[in-house]
Amino acid sequence: MKTPFRHRGCVYGSDAEFLTMAVPFAEDGLRRRQPVLAVTTAGNLGLLRAALGVDADRIECAETSAFGRRASHWAEALRDHWTRHRSDTPPGPVRIIAEPAWADRSRREVAAWLRMEANLTMSLADTEIWMICPYDTRSVEAGIVEEAHRIHPECVVGRRAKPSAQFMVPEEFTQAETSPGRTADLFRFAGDLVSVRRYVLEKATPILSTESTSAMFDVAVGAVLASLLNHGIDRATVWVRPVAGRVVCTMRCDRPLDLQRFPGSGHLDTNRLDNNLRMAEQVCEWLDVSSDPGGCTIELAMPGQVPKSQAGAGSEGWSVQG
């Protein structure tokens, strides 16, 4: 019988609390001959290996920093790990402890990682992964810890998993996180690529770092808009703003993006992009794509240089709506 994908959070505040979750999880998997992967900090890996003793060599370990630099890379690495190990297992899950790195990330990067985690509930639904995502309250901001309860259907407390009363389905979470400010300046995008690119560049160029960066941003924005049009989407909300030394452009449409689906599943594979989006990903510092029945969101970022007059304006922005 197939084991459904399980996605749980775990908030901990001490080494002992981490081990209370991690050791039984790993030991139970080893006892059942299920693959166990631990992706966390070097310190936590040392604690876990010491606690497991002679069984430590039977689990795979990786430091968070080596597992995936971008949110999309992280999601893809999780699926690749399951693909490699599913044929080696008896009936049962592939177990993963997966702790992202939150330090030194901009607010925009944090939001992209949270959306990625929220969307795992859909994008990995066809796998038999059993995953626990730890959050260390000693180093992770309180706001991120709070979001952990919204993106995980269950949270582990000690050795027990409890339903999260704050959990939001992925499409609701994504929509809540990507809505532009109420005071945003609105402009209509109704399929006219030239006017949208001109408007976006007019807002972005003063805070982009170089002329070549502006040219690459123009190419990336045009590629994303072309992808939307190729998928029959001719209206979108486009929001451009400076964030933590970057220029970030968010495009939100009220129709889902019909990207390739996982084989044998109805779930969206946001890592398998069309040619236009793939080009945009190569040009940009990062590109994040999410899609759900309520619509799709695409975010892209380039290095920027925020003028002193706009310091602290990361919560404001410009938007183009259709």
Last residue of a domain, one of 156, 173, 190: 173
Q: What tens digit of pLDDT does each residue of 216-252 get?
A: 888 898 898 888 888 888 777 777 777 667 787 877 7
Q: Is pLDDT of 126 > 90?
A: no
Three-class DSSP category at 71: helix
The predicted structure's pLDDT at residue 190? 60
The predicted structure's pLDDT at residue 265? 36
The predicted structure's pLDDT at residue 262? 37
Q: Say yes or no: 93 and 55 in one domain.
A: yes
Last residue of a domain, one of 108, 138, 173: 173
Q: Is pLDDT of 314 > 90?
A: no
Owning domain of residue 222: 180-320
The predicted structure's pLDDT at residue 91? 65
Q: Say yes or no: 39 and 59 in one domain.
A: yes
The predicted structure's pLDDT at residue 21? 95
Residue 95: which CATH number? 3.40.50.300
State the chain's mean pLDDT as an integer. 79
Q: Say yes or no: 261 and 184 in one domain.
A: yes
Residues contacting residue 93 through CB under 8 Å, at least 6 positions apart: 3, 6, 29, 34, 128, 129, 130
Q: Say yes or no: 75 and 145 in one domain.
A: yes
The predicted structure's pLDDT at residue 217? 87
Residue 240 lies inside a defined structural domain of this protein: yes
Residue 1 lies inside a defined structural domain of this protein: no
Q: Say yes or no: 190 and 277 in one domain.
A: yes
Q: Is pLDDT of 309 > 90?
A: no
Q: Say yes or no: 12 and 155 in one domain.
A: yes
What is the phi/psi pair of residue 290, to 5°? -140, 150
Q: What tens digit of pLDDT does each residue of 265-293 get?
A: 333 344 557 888 888 888 888 787 877 66
Q: What tens digit of pLDDT does each residue of 11-69 get?
A: 999 999 999 999 999 999 999 999 999 999 999 999 999 999 999 999 999 998 888 76
DSSP 44: H
Q: Say yes or no: 164 and 193 in one domain.
A: no
The predicted structure's pLDDT at residue 187? 45
Residue 224 lies inside a defined structural domain of this protein: yes
Q: Say yes or no: 142 and 191 in one domain.
A: no
Tell me whether strands 129-136 and 94-98 are parallel, antiparallel or unpaired: parallel
Share of the chain above pLDDT 90, in %: 22
Number of domains in the chain: 2
Token couple for 192: 């006219």
The predicted structure's pLDDT at residue 213? 84
- Cα separation of 212 and 14, whole Å? 47
Report yes or no: 45 and 99 within 8 Å, Cβ to Cβ.
no
Per residue, the 3-state secondary structure of 135-181, as one string, reads EECCCCCHHHHHHHHHHCCEEEECCEEEECCCCCCHHHHHHHHHCCC
Maximal CA-CA distance, the chain: 64
Q: Say yes or no: 235 and 253 in one domain.
A: yes
Residue 219 lies inside a defined structural domain of this protein: yes
- Cα separation of 232 and 161, whole Å? 43
